[in-house]
Structure 1
Amino acid sequence: MLGGIGRSKLFEEINAGRIRAVKIGRRTFVAHAELERYVAGLSA
């Protein structure tokens, strides 16, 4: 869980384009700065 959202919600946000992520093989990576940007946008 990250910032009050679970894994499935995180992937929904990635698929909707609201969070940028990079896939390497089967793994999905989200930059720390990207998460900070997303969380800042939620509280704005």
Structure 2
Amino acid sequence: MIALGCILQKRGWFQDSFGNDLSKLIQSATPALAVLPILVN
């Protein structure tokens, strides 16, 4: 996955702000993913 990301970055598939956008998405989704197993059981 990391190698694929590096290759796609070099080919210009991602904008410069992609890293920041992805970080914000992960930070907002992580708490929901942590609570989900509790709600399912």
The normalised TM-score by structure 1 is 0.30
Q: Which structure would you say has the larger Rg?
A: 2
Higher relative contact order (CA 8 A, sep 6+): 1
The normalised TM-score by structure 2 is 0.31
Q: Which has the higher strand share?
A: 1
